[in-house]
Structure formats: structure tokens, C-alpha cells
């Protein structure tokens, strides 16, 4: 057998052995058997010295070509082995890297969700409907239809997140009340729970993203007494006892007269802490009788219809319910904190 025939034989043997490699370790071992310093192909090339110049060119060129083809075949086989390895792992050892390993623990509701559902149950038992709306709103729905003037401070960029298209992230769920005023025929009672956004300076009682439940009642001869009674029923059922509250005069463009309903701080018992700014009271909800202009802006006659509206901060209600002294805990994602609920 001449050297050229021997090279053909080595090439065929090497292909068969390399293709049968079970893993990369065996592949490297098989590669070295033919292409290593002491490999079979190298041994054949050592015999070139006995050949003529023409034979050296022919056999040497063929040996280089075989060596190159085998290197390419080794690379291709290596990639196939890697792909097979990952396929096998995906079938046999699959796991979700984002999911905690070990024995799965049953999940629980976030405290805000828990209180929201409780509030919804209380209001629906009093004949209220639950309404929803988009978190990205128009300026008119968020401000204009609620009797905010063009120069009202709430419309400043220091208070509201505006988008490039002129829309904004809703600063209250009152925008849902606007949608209800246009779609429902009075009398009606609705609540509007949801997430809102404000450009706030974050501290123990303020966040840039928080949750509200706003509500509205529209009908005949609705008074502030109806509003106060509704709020007292809500709070007594949430806290399962009578809670000390106070009503202060306030100013909000969408209600007149306007009030601030404060709750005795349940974290410190009224002695003063960082949550209530050491006053013993925490502002819980703005409220009041619906402003006649709001009725007019949304197609209702204020001579025929009256009503009241309120906005309840869900995060603050959760803090009062469970004695949480910092609102930032609620959105921290800290499982040690959340597991308490």
C-alpha cells in the first residue's frame, strides 16, 4: 500500500472514530489519535523523505487537505455534541432559573390586594358597582372634566408624569368617575380601585406609585350626611371596631363643599410618629359633594342631580390596618415582609 492509499484509509478511519465520539472528552482523544503530534496522520508524513519531489508534492498536498477536512469535521462534531448536551439537559434537568428552588410554598395575596378585595366586598354590599379604567389618561379626563383650571398646580410637571404624546399617567382614579358620569344614567353608585402615579418626594407616607379606591354616588337629594355615614360604615367594617375620625374643610376642584377625612393614627395610637408626621392624625381621604361644574362638564344637570365623591388611599389604609410604619415596605418586594400577611 503506497502513502496515498494509506492516507485515504486513515481519513476514512478517522471520520468513523470521530463521529462515534460520545462526548467532548472522547472527541479530543480521538482527534489526537490521528491529528496529534504522535497521531497516525503525522506518522505517515514522516515517510515523505523517502519520496521523490513530485511524490512529496502530491502526497503532502493530499495530507494537508485531509488534515484540514478532519479539523473541520472535528469542529462540526463538537458543535453537534454541545447541542445534544443542552437538548438532553432541557429534557432531563429543566428548571426555571427565576423560580426559587426547593419545596414550593403556597403564595398569598399582597396586603394591598387583600384590603382592596375587602373594600370592594363592603361597597358592593351597599349597592356599589366596581369600575375600572386605563392607567394612561388624557389631560381632559384626569383634570379638565373634573373642574381643574388650566393653571392648577396639579397639572405641573413637578406633580404629574406626562408622556410624549401629551397623555399622562393618571394621578387619581377620579378619571374613572368621569367615564361613569358619561356612560351611566343616574342614580348610580360606583367605586374605582386602581394604581395611580404622582411625582412625589418619597418618604414614610408618600410613594410615586400607589393605590386608591375612589367612589361616587349620584342621585336625588344626596347630602354630606350620606357621605359621612358611608365612610363610617366602611372604616368600622375594615377595622372591625369604631375608629376615631375627623372631618376638616378642604379644597378640591371637583367637590364643593370639600373635606379632608382624617383617621386617628393606628400605628402610634395618636401619640405621634413618622407616618402621621407626629400629629396623631393621618389624612385618609379627600371627599365632598360633587361640584356642579363637574356635572355640567359631563352632561348632567346640577339642578336635577346631586352626589358625593371620595378618594381613599389603599396603601395608607393597609398601613393603618396592620400598623405598618413605612409605605415603602409595601412596594419593596421583600418576601420576609410580605409573608407576614
Nearest Cα residue to 42 out of 17, 55, 60: 60
Around Cβ 43, how many Cβ atoms within 10 Å? 12
256 annotated to a ligand binding site: yes
Strand partners for 32? none
Q: Grid coordinates in use for 267?
A: 400605628
For residue 249, give Cα distances in angstroms to 86, 125, 191, 258, 260: 68, 29, 23, 6, 6
- Is-contact 288 265, C-beta < 8 A? no
Nearest to 294 by CA among 305, 279, 285, 284: 305
Question: CA–CA separation, 338 vs 341, rounded Å?
Answer: 6
d(CA 341, CA 336): 10
CA-closest candidate to residue 141, choices 100, 108, 174 = 174
How many other CB atoms are found less than 10 A from the CB of residue 53? 7
DSSP lists the bridge partners of residue 213 as 193, 312
Whether 219 contacts 305, CB under 8 Å: yes
Q: What are the cell numbers at 190? A: 360606583
Residues 6+ positions from 107 with CB-CB distance below 8 Å: none
Place of cell 349597592: 127
β strands within the chain, DSSP E: 129-130, 136-137, 168-169, 188-197, 209-219, 245-252, 255-264, 281-290, 306-313
User: Which residues define the annotated binding site?
Assistant: 256
User: Which residues define the annotated binding site for Mg(2+)?
Assistant: 256
Amino acid at each position: 500500500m503506497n502513502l496515498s492509499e494509506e492516507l485515504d484509509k486513515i481519513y476514512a478511519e478517522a471520520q468513523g472514530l470521530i463521529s462515534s465520539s460520545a462526548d467532548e472528552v472522547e472527541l479530543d482523544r480521538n482527534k489526537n489519535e490521528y491529528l496529534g503530534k504522535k497521531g497516525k496522520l503525522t506518522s505517515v508524513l514522516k515517510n515523505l523523505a523517502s519520496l521523490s519531489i513530485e511524490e512529496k508534492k502530491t502526497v503532502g498536498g493530499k495530507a494537508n487537505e485531509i488534515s484540514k477536512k478532519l479539523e473541520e469535521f472535528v469542529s462540526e462534531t463538537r458543535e453537534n455534541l454541545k447541542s445534544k448536551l443542552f437538548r438532553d439537559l432541557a429534557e432531563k434537568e429543566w428548571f426555571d432559573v427565576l423560580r426559587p428552588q426547593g419545596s414550593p410554598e403556597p403564595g398569598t395575596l399582597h396586603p394591598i390586594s387583600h384590603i382592596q378585595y375587602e373594600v370592594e366586598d363592603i361597597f358592593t354590599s351597599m349597592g356599589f358597582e366596581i369600575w375600572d379604567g386605563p392607567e394612561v389618561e388624557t389631560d381632559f379626563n384626569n383634570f379638565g372634566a373634573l373642574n381643574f383650571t388650566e393653571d392648577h398646580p396639579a397639572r405641573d410637571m413637578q406633580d404629574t408624569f406626562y408622556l410624549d404624546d401629551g397623555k399622562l399617567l393618571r394621578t387619581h382614579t377620579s378619571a374613572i368617575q368621569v367615564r361613569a358620569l358619561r356612560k351611566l344614567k343616574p342614580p348610580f353608585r360606583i367605586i374605582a380601585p386602581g394604581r395611580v402615579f404622582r411625582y412625589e418626594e418619597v418618604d414614610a407616607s408618600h410613594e410615586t406609585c400607589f393605590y386608591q379606591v375612589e367612589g361616587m354616588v349620584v342621585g336625588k337629594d344626596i347630602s354630606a350626611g350620606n357621605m359621612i355615614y358611608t365612610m363610617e360604615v366602611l372604616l368600622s367594617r375594615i377595622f372591625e371596631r369604631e375608629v376615631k375620625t375627623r372631618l376638616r374643610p378642604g379644597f378640591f376642584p371637583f367637590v364643593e363643599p370639600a373635606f379632608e377625612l382624617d383617621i386617628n393614627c393606628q400605628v402610634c395610637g395618636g401619640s405621634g410618629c413618622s407616618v402621621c408626621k407626629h400629629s396623631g392624625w393621618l389624612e385618609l381621604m379627600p371627599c365632598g359633594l360633587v361640584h356642579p361644574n363637574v356635572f355640567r362638564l359631563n352632561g348632567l344637570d346640577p339642578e336635577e342631580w346631586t352626589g358625593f365623591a371620595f378618594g381613599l388611599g389603599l396603601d395608607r389604609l393597609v398601613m393603618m390596618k396592620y400598623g405598618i410604619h413605612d409605605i415603602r415596605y409595601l412596594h419593596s418586594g421583600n418576601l420576609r415582609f410580605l409573608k407576614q400577611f
